[in-house]
């Protein structure tokens, strides 16, 4: 094969470490962000947190979208631009060149010790601490049980198995894949048989049904724990799930009765036991007394028709450069003898100061991006907040609408909306809730598809379960209300609501 040369042009974008840091911070919710700040304070001694500032940042929002005085101007139209690059990257290139301390500190403003403070106003109201805090996961609860049962030499394998369990409580990864992960990533050799033995013990943990590999195993694990004493209904339920699971999922009741040779009353009793089981044990609201909480990232308050948007104060820590590090740099500048050992120490300090400044800039840009996005959402859904959460008042809104309004990229808005919550006078709501597609009714008005979904949900909730409504019947019902929607669209909305087809909603 002959060698040849060719000339080509390629266009690509390379993100700086600082831009990547901003992106990672932006997608964190309040609690994860607070943990990240705490970890950064531990890792970087040049970064300090000024204690005593815990209030929420207060902004007022009305429905006047042309009132530019109430909106911050975007720093950049490029979503991935990240904070501005520091001007001190080339403060020195080698040990033979002095460090310009004035230039190093210039970007810090006029505060003492060259501090970088979050330059926002803090309100002095009672919202010093958000009402919901802390969080504990079922993974932590499983780890506690594992430490009480397994020996030290087995814990590493058990921890890896527990870490592979998904949030709903299922272990969907094949044991063979976990064996390979341990071998290649952890240099730990094991076998599928050994992991299977450990997994069986984990499946006996609380809550019942945990670490199952599919729904059938999950339900059976729960029945096995309930199977004490003489209970024919539980025995029949175990047999039904073991031998007739496919017919059970399809609700082929006649086939089940014929195969198991049982009557209607026996089937109802067995089905009653199965319906008591939890198909998603990992999503249990309370595990061993540990309640999972949501930490709201924003608060929206209706103050006599004027909506106030508050950012949780825990998202805006008051950070600055370490005073002792700044004093060291000043001492170096005033020292007549700049020895190599001292230059080495100052180089280390300079690296830490750079890292601290970049982190502070990323935090501040995150704070501004969060507020601009939430303000835009409240402006567009003004009527919804004024009407105390009436879903019919929601306006169609997609990520692109907010991205265009705040002049940021869609991916930035997506990161803000993901895993963030807002506290209102009528409950805590995920930001994703406010985004929906639009439909036009017979009157020519554009409405949110959430209104359609609410009608479908109410209709299915009130249907006769012996003869549930088909998608065709639901389509006709919507047409009567003025919504001309195709049957396949009805099916799509029903699936998005997590509602099965009519055949699977049928009850005895």
pLDDT at 212: 93
The CATH architecture that domain 436-505 belongs to is: Orthogonal Bundle (1.10)
Q: Residues 300-350: pLDDT tens digits? A: 998 888 999 999 888 888 888 888 877 777 777 777 666 776 777 778 888
Answer yes or no: is pLDDT of 443 > 70: no
If DSSP states are collapsed to H, E and C, what string results for 374-409?
A: HHHHHHHCHHHHHCCCCHHHCCCECHHHHHHHHCCC
Residue with tokens 């009402």: 131
Closest CA to 453 of 480, 428, 483, 423: 483
pLDDT at 495: 85
- Can you name the residues that pair with 440 across neighbouring β-strands? 446
End-to-end alpha-carbon separation of the chain, Å? 73
Question: Please, what is the angle between helix 17-26 and helix 410-417, to 10°?
Answer: 40
Closest CA to 439 of 383, 392, 374: 392
Cis before residue 207, ω within 30 degrees of 0?
Answer: yes
Higher pLDDT, 468 or 121: 468
Instruction: Read off the pLDDT of each residue in 424-443 and give the average, rounded to a whole number.
Output: 80
Q: Residues 288-305: pLDDT tens digits? A: 444 456 789 999 998 888
> Does residue 264 contact residue 271 with C-beta atoms inside 8 Å?
no
Length in residues, the chain: 508
Closest CA to 318 of 120, 109, 498, 151: 120
Percent of the chain with pLDDT over 90: 18
Q: Residues 463-481: pLDDT tens digits? A: 888 888 898 889 888 888 8
pLDDT at 126: 39
In whole angstroms, what is the distance from residue 368 CA to residue 66 CA?
A: 20
pLDDT at 504: 76
Q: Which of 69-78, 221-230, 250-259 has the highest mean pLDDT?
A: 250-259
Instruction: Read off the pLDDT of each residue in 426-445 and give the average, rounded to a whole number.
Output: 78
In whole angstroms, what is the distance from residue 312 CA to residue 331 CA?
A: 39
> Does residue 415 contact residue 23 with C-beta atoms inside 8 Å?
yes
In whole angstroms, what is the distance from residue 388 CA to residue 398 CA?
A: 22
Contact residues for 495 (Cβ-Cβ < 8 A; gap 6+): none
Answer yes or no: is pLDDT of 66 > 50: no
Instruction: Write out the two tokens for 134.
Output: 């802390």
In whole angstroms, what is the distance from residue 507 CA to residue 505 CA?
A: 6
Full DSSP string of 77-106: S-TT--SPPPTTTTS-SSTTS---HHHHHH
Contact residues for 266 (Cβ-Cβ < 8 A; gap 6+): 232, 233, 236
Residue with tokens 């976990």: 178
Answer yes or no: is pLDDT of 114 > 70: no
Domain coordinates in residue numbering, the chain: 17-63+95-125+298-413, 138-286, 436-505
């Amino acid at each position: 094969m002959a060698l040849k040369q060719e000339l080509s042009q390629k266009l690509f974008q390379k993100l700086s470490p600082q831009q990547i840091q901003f992106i990672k911070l932006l997608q964190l919710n309040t609690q994860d962000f607070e943990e990240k700040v705490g970890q950064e304070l531990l890792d970087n001694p040049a970064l300090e947190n000024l204690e005593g500032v815990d209030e929420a940042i207060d902004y007022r929002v009305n429905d006047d979208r042309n009132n530019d005085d109430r909106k911050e101007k975007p720093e950049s139209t490029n979503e991935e631009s990240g904070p501005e690059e520091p001007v001190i990257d080339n403060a020195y290139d080698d040990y033979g060149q002095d460090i310009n301390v004035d230039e190093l500190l210039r970007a810090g403003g006029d505060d003492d010790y060259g501090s970088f403070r979050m330059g926002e106003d803090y309100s002095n109201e009672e919202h010093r601490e958000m009402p919901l805090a802390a969080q504990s996961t079922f993974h932590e609860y499983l780890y506690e049980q594992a430490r009480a049962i397994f020996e030290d030499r087995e814990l590493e394998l058990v921890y890896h198995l527990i870490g592979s369990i998904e949030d709903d409580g299922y272990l969907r990864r094949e044991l063979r894949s976990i064996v390979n992960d341990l071998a290649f990533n952890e240099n730990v050799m094991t076998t599928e048989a050994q992991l299977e033995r450990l997994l069986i013990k984990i499946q006996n943990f609380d809550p019942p049904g945990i670490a199952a590999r599919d729904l059938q195993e999950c339900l059976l694990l729960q029945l096995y724990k309930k199977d004490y004493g003489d209970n024919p209904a539980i025995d029949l339920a175990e047999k039904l799930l073991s031998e007739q699971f496919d017919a059970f999922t399809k609700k082929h009741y006649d086939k089940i009765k014929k195969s198991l040779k049982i009557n209607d009353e026996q089937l109802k009793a067995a089905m009653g036991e199965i319906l008591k089981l939890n198909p998603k044990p990992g999503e249990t609201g309370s595990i061993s007394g540990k309640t999972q909480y949501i930490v709201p990232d924003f608060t929206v308050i209706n103050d006599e028709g004027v909506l106030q948007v508050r950012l949780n104060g825990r998202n805006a820590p008051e950070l600055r450069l370490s005073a002792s590090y700044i004093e060291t740099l000043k001492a170096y500048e005033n020292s007549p003898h700049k020895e190599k050992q001292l230059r080495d120490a100052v180089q280390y300090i300079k690296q830490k100061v750079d890292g601290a400044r970049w982190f502070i800039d990323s935090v501040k840009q995150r704070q501004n991006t969060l507020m601009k996005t939430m303000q835009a959402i409240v402006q567009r859904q003004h009527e919804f907040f004024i009407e105390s959460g009436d879903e019919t008042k929601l306006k169609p809104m997609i990520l692109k609408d907010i991205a265009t309004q705040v002049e940021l990229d869609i991916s930035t808005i997506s990161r803000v909306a993901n895993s963030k919550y807002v506290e209102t006078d009528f409950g805590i709501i995920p930001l994703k809730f406010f985004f929906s597609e639009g439909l036009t009714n017979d009157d020519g008005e554009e409405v949110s598809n959430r209104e359609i979904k609410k009608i479908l949900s109410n209709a299915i909730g009130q249907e006769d379960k012996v003869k549930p409504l088909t998608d065709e019947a639901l389509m006709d019902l919507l047409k009567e209300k003025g919504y001309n929607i195709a049957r396949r669209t009805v099916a799509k909305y029903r699936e998005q609501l997590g509602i099965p087809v009519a055949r699977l909603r049928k009850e005895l």
